Homo-oligomer: A and B are copies of this chain.
């Protein structure tokens, strides 16, 4: 009877209403019934992304959506800029390298992200860059940039702004058209509350022109095929039917509750976790100006063995958070407050963290984290 609560930043908790949809009898994808669902999902995603442009669905995880962006927007030898402020930013460089692009990598110290000024300077130095690839919510550090201000820099240039919003979509605000973002990549298993298996790529008119011009080799991730299929309310290859049907339900849940309201709630849960960390004598890893709404990385003294704490919470108490990746391995605990996670889940997580911290010998007053969080949540 152990709890099974996912407070990991992807996959994130799937609400029981969506579990039920995932388990419904399958339907065929070449039917009017599924076409209607595809139409509704596309419309729902347009609202969440803030675009009236094309949104493509791939049967893939988020990396597939990122590969589609790299493969379709530039051609071998083209100059692009990749930005790194955590482990997922590194993936853009790995993809650019694999596709033999002429890529320049901006390395920003972890804990913050790139500023609009730094983007401006990079574009001044590399005005021939076809695209700049960055991360909206850097899941490894829980930091997020001022995307609107960055898009204001890129929008009147020939450089396309490509955003990894895999863990941001639904949770962090984005207005693709109004801000001038060119490509938004995402997946089903973070803010959209579902299991992994659907990749999402939204493209601006500027991006579509680049897609048509690219000479890169691509087939499964060829967005020209996706574009053609979308015009017929179809997908180029067999879609991940049951996840897409559940995505329809998930988007309707989010949009019925109201995206603004939901995103204000994620922010409040984030603030509650920050307050709890402080009350427990711990530091939030991301700098205050860069903290995301979707997850919080908390620095844990190495003497307390954060990896072991994560393991005990998961294996003994059934509450799964994430440890650190790359340079942050063994240094942080990450707790997600995205998608279907609610304030009671967050309090459950804080309670469990208090328990294992106390057992590990950390000095604090039991309940201090919970009380601090509760005050923020009810303010």
- Interface residues in chain A, defined as those with a beta carbon under 8 Å from any beta carbon in chain B: 4, 6, 8, 10-11, 13-14, 16, 19-29, 31-32, 59-64, 67, 76, 94-95, 98-100, 187, 189, 195-197, 216-222, 237-243, 314-315, 320
Contacts and interface: CB of A to CB of B under 8 A. Distances in A.
Contacts of A22: 22-23, 242
B237 A95 contact: no
Contacts of A6: 26-28
Contact of A27 (B4, B31, B239, B315): B4
A67 B99 contact: no
Q: Which of A14, A24, A240 is the most central at the interface, judged by chain B CB atoms within 10 Å of its CB?
A: A240
Contact of A64 (B26, B59, B217, B243): B59
Contacts of A243: 195, 197
Contacts of A219: 63, 67, 94-95, 98-99
Given A25-B14, A197-B197, A240-B240, A217 B99 contact: yes
Given A64-B59, A197-B240, A220-B63, A25 B8 contact: no
B320 A241 contact: no
Contacts of A63: 219-220, 237-238
B26 A195 contact: yes
A250 to B, nearest CB: 13
A5 to B, nearest CB: 9
20 contacts: A6-B26, A10-B238, A11-B28, A11-B29, A13-B26, A16-B25, A19-B24, A20-B23, A27-B320, A60-B60, A61-B237, A61-B239, A61-B240, A94-B219, A98-B217, A98-B219, A195-B241, A197-B197, A217-B217, A220-B221
